[in-house]
Amino acid sequence: MHVRNARGEDAEAFVRAYELSWDAMAGPLVGKRLGELVSFEDRLESFRAGLEQASPDVRILVAEREGAIAGVATCVREGATCELRSLYVVPDAWGTGVAQRLMDAALDAMRGRGATEAVLWVVEGNDRARRFYEREGWTLDGEMRASQLGPSEVRYRRAL
């Protein structure tokens, strides 16, 4: 498995990996498949725009496994804090270490740019993701917000 910066030619595979993961995990929590919320074309455009506009404070990563994109992550540094904005792994790669490698790469990149703390938001009912983050040293900080998609989200925090 190899984690690297995303490239323009990754657009379709990135968007499909995100969709497969969403539909398997978040979709049941939200009650909608990703394609019902945002069109594939809009997601492609968003990915490409993100790459074009990316600054040194933004990392868009992919994990390749057996020649295919098995996971994606986005991390943004704002001052001394880094936000892990997305971390999605295709269901076929669950339990293989892809999520761990993506998270480590994103946080290492932000440490290298001076971040000393990280935060992330996760759907409150996403028990699988929450167990993963808690095993990795993330702790709830008491903040909650309503998701645009319906369910509440909780915030986790950790030192880098």
Q: Bridge-partner residues for 42, per DSSP?
A: none
Mean pLDDT, the chain cut into blocks of 10 residues (160 residues total): 94 92 82 86 89 87 95 94 95 95 94 95 92 96 86 94
How is the chain split into domains, by residue range? Answer: 2-159
Provide the pLDDT for residue 157. 98
Provide the pLDDT for residue 30. 77
Topology annotation, domain 2-159: Aminopeptidase (3.40.630)
Provide the pLDDT for residue 7. 93
Q: Do the beta carbons of residue 120 and residue 130 sit within 8 Å?
A: no
The model carries a pTM of 0.90
Q: Which residues contact 99 (CB under 8 A, 6 or more apart)?
A: 71, 87, 89, 132
Provide the pLDDT for residue 4. 97
Render the chain in DSSP notation, one character per residue: -EEEE--GGGHHHHHHHHHHHHHHTHHHHHTS-HHHHS-HHHHHHHHHHHHHH--TTEEEEEEEETTEEEEEEEEEEETTEEEEEEEEE-GGGTTTTHHHHHHHHHHHHHHTTT--EEEEEEETT-HHHHHHHHHTT-EEEEEEEE-TTSSEEEEEEEE-
